[in-house]
Amino acid sequence: MSQVSVTINGKQYRMACEDGQEGHLLRLAKDLDDRMAKLHSSFGEIGDTRLTVMAALTLADELVEATMRVRRLEEELAALQDARVLAADRSQATQAAIVAAFNSAANRIEDVSRKLNQTIPGAGKGDIPSG
């Protein structure tokens, strides 16, 4: 465990954190201190406790909005994944229909070719019919 000294609203606090998390904790404390300074400049002298509560409520509001945004994005992602699966299924069905159409066309061409070969004497034996 590491210890970090942070300053929030002009007061020093000694905080414990996981090793390697010191910089993160310092950034969090700086963000809170900046928020409290902004609130202080907007509302003037309102008392430390009230200032802290207002900052906490501001952060809580941002957290709720971020959570709702994440939830909406997760729902949108799920819908996009469903659409992707549906599109992939349609693509497979389309490819199968195209293959079936080509096979059908190839069979008809072979049938026509076979019938032509039967009606033209010497056709299909390397002879070129004279026209």
Q: Tokens for 9, please give them.
A: 């609203």
Q: How far is CA 48 from CA 15, 28, 38, 51, 96, in A?
A: 19, 19, 13, 5, 71
How far is Cα 91 from Cα 86, in angstroms, rounded to an integer? 9
pLDDT tens digit sequence for 65-112: 999 999 999 999 999 999 999 999 999 999 999 999 999 999 999 999
| 98 vs 48: which has the higher pLDDT | 98
How far is Cα 9 from Cα 35, in angstroms, rounded to an integer? 9
pLDDT tens digit sequence for 34-45: 999 999 999 888
